[in-house]
Structures are given as structure tokens and as C-alpha cells.
Amino acid sequence: LVRLRDRLARSGSPLGTRLLAVLSRDHLGEDDWDELEETLLLADVGAGPAAELIEALRTQVRVHGVKDAASVRAMLRAELVALVDPDLDRTLHTTPTVHEDGTKTPAVLLVVGVNGTGKTTTVGKLTRVLVAEGSTVVLGAADTFRAAAADQLTTWGARVGVETVRSFKDGADPAAVAFDTVRTARERGVDVVLVDTAGRLQNKAGLMDELGKITRVITKEAPLTEVLLVLDATTGQNGLNQARVFAEVAGVTGIVLTKLDGTAKGGIVVAVQRELGVPVKLVGLGEGPDDLAPFDAEGFVDGLLQ
């Protein structure tokens, strides 16, 4: 796993550059505070949180009589960390249940989200991490609407010796594929199942129907350990709208924020966690096999402020 802080720093965050430009001024006047707030808004932190942060910072500056840029910067860092790190459990649950008779119920992670956000890539990267940690894994290609998606997933799996359960019929029932995947994993005593789904956000009823059915058939075989929603960090407020819909239909337990490399829009972390009460658990930092990292609030903020 790459270190979030280093990777974000290397991508040269425009947010950090702008924030630091303002904070390096000798004296912060009304215009400077406005500019700071605007910078946070541009980064998709959201209007409420941005205003609160600026207010908290101004109060501290006033109360402590702080004037130098380094101190303001340290306060900003502390406020940002508090903002991106509310009291949410970021543990990614991938441990199977081992029964007294020695049989195993796999951990089942369902990966949902709109097409193109990076679901398949995320599943591929996560598979590598799990295999490297010594877990056995089976993948389910429940995105049956695009044959290419199943091919892509199969390729990711094959590279680390992991099997992908799929259908070769376009438009096959995704729930049937999901069921077969979990059944296969159970029969073989595999530790973790990752199920990739299609992201057709045609309408809420259709999505609810499809994900509802997938969830129901999976839980006949094993409880769902995680429902991970994949969001593209570059889509800003649109990502937040997607998150609302999926949270409503799929009982999301964690967010994977992809494409954080080279975007100043990471502020969506704040908005999504605040609005849904669901933690960002993983972040995507590129298209490569090792570009996945656990979310860590301090590293994230330091990356922004480099």
C-alpha cells in the first residue's frame, strides 16, 4: 500500500498551494478569510463545513492573538483533521467466520457505484492486497451487462491466482452470479468474496430492485460483511448525489474514494461522511495495481497542505 501523504504530496495539490498562498500573508484581512473559504468550497468541502471551519479558525486567531502564518497553518491543519475525521469506524471487515466444526463462512464484500467510478479497478487492487496479506479470495463478476467488465475483473484476479465466477451470457442475472460466487467460496473454504456489480443508475426503483435481489440471494449463503460504495472524487457534488441514492438502496458500510490523484476535489470526503455518516475506508490514487490506500485523516490533510 502506498502512503497517502506521500502520494498526495507528489500529485501537487492545487488546494494546498492556494491555501498556503493565503496563509503566508503577514496579516489576514477580510478578503483573505473569504479567499480561504472559497478555496475550501472549490475543493468540495461543502458550504456548511467550510463556513464553520473558517469561523472556528477566526475565533482561535482572535482569542489567541495569533498572527503568524505558521500558527494559523497549524490551526487550519487541526481543524481540517477534525473535519475529515469524525468518530467513524474505518475498519475494513474482511475476516471470515470459522465455525466449531472447522467450516468457514467467508467475508462477503459487495462493491457498488455508478459506471466508470472505478469499481472493477478497486476490486482488482483490493484482491491484490488481500492475497498479499495471506487471504484466499474468489471474485464475482455480477456486472453482467458489459462482458468487458467481467473480462477486466478476470484479468485482475488471474494475475494473483484468484478465480472469477462469471457468466458468459450478456445480461445474465447478476444475482445468480453473486449467489454462485458465494456458494463456490463456501464450498472451497475461501476467506473473502468480492462481488463487482453493474452501476446502472437508470432509476432508483430499478437499482433498488437489482441490488435488493443481489443482497437477498447473497445473504442466503452468508451475511454481507461490507457494502462498499465507489465514488469518483473528481465528480464533486454529483458524487454526493450518487452517494445518497446508493446509501438509501444498498445500506452502504464504507466509501472508496477513487481518482484522488491529481484532483483538488478531495473535500468530498467531508461532505459524504457528514451527510451519510459512513466513513471513507479506502482511497484510489491511480490506475496501477498498488494505487489503493486505507484512508488516514492526518495523511490526507498533510497531503492537501504540502
Q: Is 260 annotated as a binding residue?
A: yes
Of 95 and 155, which CB lies nearer to ligand GDP in the complex structure?
Answer: 155
Q: Is 231 annotated as a binding residue?
A: no
Among 17, 115, 167, 184, binds ligand GDP (CB under 6 A): 115
Q: Is 263 annotated as a binding residue?
A: no
Give the C-alpha distances (Å, rounded to integers) separating 119 from 50, 141, 231, 259. Answer: 29, 11, 9, 11
The Cα angle at residue 1 between residues 8 and 148, in degrees rounded to 5: 95
Of 119 and 265, which CB lies nearer to ligand GDP in the complex structure?
Answer: 119
Per-residue x/- mask for ligand GDP, residues 260 to 289, rule CB under 6 A?
-x----------------------xxxx--
The Cα angle at residue 115 between residues 255 and 303, in degrees rounded to 5: 40
Report strand pairing: 192-197 vs 224-232.
Answer: unpaired
Q: Is 136 annotated as a binding residue?
A: no
Using the rule CB under 6 A, give the single segment among 118-126, 171-179, 205-213, 295-303 that binds ligand GDP: 118-126
DSSP run (H or E) holding 7: helix 4-10
In the block, residue with C-alpha cell 484468484: 162
Q: Is 199 annotated as a binding residue?
A: yes
Q: Is 118 in the site for ligand GDP (CB under 6 A)?
A: yes
Task: Name which of 282, 294, 286 is nearest 260 in CA terms.
Answer: 286
Of 223 and 288, which CB lies nearer to ligand GDP in the complex structure?
Answer: 288
Of 16 and 113, which CB lies nearer to ligand GDP in the complex structure?
Answer: 113
Q: Is 234 in the site for ligand GDP (CB under 6 A)?
A: no
Q: How far is the CB of 38 from ligand GDP (least distance, A)?
A: 26
Q: Which residue is nearest to ligand GDP (CB)?
A: 284
SS3 169: coil
Residue 43 CB coordination number (10 Å)? 25
Among 135, 144, 225, 258, binds ligand GDP (CB under 6 A): 258
Q: Are 187 and 221 in contact (CB under 8 A)?
A: no
Among 13, 120, 225, 273, binds ligand GDP (CB under 6 A): 120
Among 12, 48, 86, 116, binds ligand GDP (CB under 6 A): 116
Of 115 and 167, which CB lies nearer to ligand GDP in the complex structure?
Answer: 115
Q: Is 198 annotated as a binding residue?
A: yes
Within positions 195 to 224, which residues make up the interface with ligand GDP, using CB under 6 A? 199
Determine the size of the site formed for ligand GDP (CB under 6 A).
Answer: 18
Hey, what's the cell of 244?
A: 445518497
Task: Name which of 142, 290, 272, 38 is nearest 281 in CA terms.
Answer: 272
SS3 138: strand
Q: How far is the CB of 68 from ligand GDP (least distance, A)?
A: 37
Give the max Cα distance, the chain. Answer: 69
Of 119 and 183, which CB lies nearer to ligand GDP in the complex structure?
Answer: 119
Return the beta strands (E) in the chain as ranges: 97-98, 104-105, 107-112, 137-142, 163-165, 192-197, 224-232, 254-258, 280-284, 292-294
Annotated binding site: 113-120, 196-200, 258-261
Q: What residues form the annotated binding site for GTP?
A: 113-120, 196-200, 258-261
Q: Which parts of this chain interact with ligand GDP (CB under 6 A)?
A: 113, 115-121, 199, 230, 258-259, 261, 284-287, 291
